[in-house]
Amino acid sequence: MAEDHYYLTVARERRQPQNDGYIAVISLGQPQLGDDHVTVCDVEVVPNMKAARKWFKRQVAEKPWEPRN
């Protein structure tokens, strides 16, 4: 079985100027790389890119991906 590759995708989130932040998405597969099948594992709103990277590392270490015995 192939190893799962998790990807972090981040985009600006601007609902209101005072709520400026980023939407961070963890997925299996990435459409930007030409993947046909993409599964979203988790989504979070974070204040900056550094926070997004820290969140990604923590989530990938803790949750690959959820159901456990």
Residue 42 and residue 59 in contact, taking contact as beta carbons nearer than 8 Å = yes
Count the Cβ atoms, other than its own, within 10 Å of residue 3: 4
Beta-carbon contacts of 53 under 8 Å, excluding residues fewer than 6 positions away, are: 8
pTM for this predicted structure? 0.78
CA gyration radius, the chain: 13
pLDDT (tens digit per residue) in 17-64: 666 789 999 999 887 788 888 899 999 999 999 999 999 999 999 887
pLDDT (tens digit per residue) in 12-27: 877 666 667 899 999 9
